[in-house]
Each structure stands twice: as structure tokens, then as C-alpha cells.
Amino acid sequence: MKLKGFSFGKKSQKKQGSTRKLQIISKTAPFQYVEAYKTLRTNLNFMAVSNKYQKIVVTSSIPGEGKSNVAINLCVSLAETGKKVLLIDCDLRKPVLHKYLRITRRAQGLSNLLSGEAAPADVVVRFSDLHFDVITAGIVPPNPAELLGSARMGEILQILGSQYDYIIMDTPPASVVTDAAVLGTLADGVLFVVSQGNATIESAQLAKKNLESTHTNIIGAVLNGFDLKSTSRDTGYYYSYEYGYYK
């Protein structure tokens, strides 16, 4: 399918009056924005020389740090190099990827895979314009952490791992629930998103502690929402990011 009607413009949200926005790297995106993801992609490729980083968990310390947007754009950047990429919404509590990518909530997803109601081929959504595949969260289950850490989840990742070069997994914030830490034990590494404007030192430290408690491999951090205007104007590379969701 194609991501129809996408734009960088703002869209109002009547209920809360807030702006939900998805900004995908493209030819019309700011140069520095695109280059930031190319740098992230390059760093992952260099790390893969000595270690295999195929299954990557993306998490943050608290909600609202833009981790889902980072996960999507990382997939776009990796797919641009010809890699076969799969994005999985592993937030089985408050999933948002279907909102970002405008996929019907009724579509089968990860929870259907974990319950045995569907096979991988039944739940994969293919985006011809973004050049990567997506598995949404599906129906919200009563026991997300247990499902994500189950043997069935490990089997699914093994099956999908034979079909894709990269599997990017979007998870809930690590300082709020244990899901990311549990899933991190089945992944090759965890990418930690930290927002300059939202995260506190304490929340970031707690998230890091929770991840380390299960001996997950934290392979790096992404500083999100960084506004160079507040630090320096000398280089000419100052800009700000804005993240959110489409309703």
C-alpha cells in the first residue's frame, strides 16, 4: 500500500487541540534532518562489521520523545540502501504506528501472531512508497510483557529474521513498563531515544537501569528534538525537530 495524503503540514486535533505530526525523511525534508538519519544508518552499518545487529528495539524513557518517528525514519533510511526492512509495533498497550502510517486498527497484527490466530504472511503490510514492511500491534492483549518475552515471540523473530535484513521494533517507554527490557533479551540491541525537551536525567537513568536489569545490549542513543538555536549559531547548522502523530 501507499502512504496517501502525507504532508509536512500541521493537522489540528479537535479533542486536545494539540498537533500530531509525522515527518518522514524525503527530498523535501530539511538537509540536516535527512543527514542525521544517514549518520545513524552509517553507525549501525559500521557496528555490524563486528556484531550482527539485525533485530533492534527502539525505546525511550518516557512518552512523547519521538521514538516511533525515529523508528519509522530509521526504516526508511535503511530501506534506501536496498535492505529488506520490517517495522513491528511492539507497543501492545498504546500502539500508534497504525495512526502514523494510516493503517486501519482492525488489521491483524503482532498480538494475532502471538496468539496463533494468524501467520506472518497474514499480518505484514507492504508500503510501496516507503519500501519497507510493517506489522501493526493488533488487538491490545491483557498481558503484553508476558507475550513479548514468550518463546512464541522468539520463534516469530527467528522466522522473520530469515526474511529480512533488519527488524526494527517500536516499544513502550522503558522507565514506565518492562516491555522494552523484556523484548530486548530477544533482540540484538536496543536503541535509546532521548528527547532534549521532554526527558529528565532521572527518567533516562531509570530507563537505562531497567534495560540493564535484563542484560539487554544498549547499542546507542539518539538525541531527539535537539534545537541547535539554543546552543550555537556559528556553524549555520541549527534547526529544530517537531514530532507527534496524525490522528
What is the count of structural domains for the chain? 1
Question: How far is the C-alpha of 199 from the C-alpha of 85, rounded, in Å?
Answer: 29
pLDDT given at position 12:
33
What's phi and psi for 230, nearest 5 deg?
-80, -5
Residue 14 in any domain: the answer is no
Residue 223 in any domain: the answer is yes
- Residue 128's domain spans which residues? 31-230
Distance of CA 246 to the CA centre of its chain: 16
pLDDT given at position 229:
57
pLDDT given at position 35:
86
Report yes or no: 157 and 186 within 8 Å, Cβ to Cβ.
yes
Q: Which CATH number covers residue 166? A: 3.40.50.300
The structure's pTM equals 0.82
Report yes or no: 66 and 225 within 8 Å, Cβ to Cβ.
yes
Residue 183 in any domain: the answer is yes
* Residue corresponding to grid cell 491483557: 142
Question: How far is the C-alpha of 101 from the C-alpha of 72, rounded, in Å?
Answer: 9
pLDDT tens, per residue, the chain with 247 residues: 555 433 333 333 333 333 346 777 776 677 777 888 888 898 888 776 667 889 999 999 999 888 999 999 999 999 999 999 999 999 999 999 998 888 877 778 999 999 999 999 999 999 888 899 999 999 999 999 999 999 999 999 999 999 999 999 999 999 999 999 999 999 999 999 998 877 789 999 999 999 999 999 999 988 887 665 554 444 443 333 333 333 3
pLDDT given at position 197:
76
At 11, list the grid cell: 493537522
pLDDT given at position 209:
94
Residue 116 in any domain: the answer is yes
pLDDT given at position 59:
95
Report yes or no: 52 and 84 within 8 Å, Cβ to Cβ.
no
Residue 16 in any domain: the answer is no
* Residue corresponding to grid cell 556559528: 234
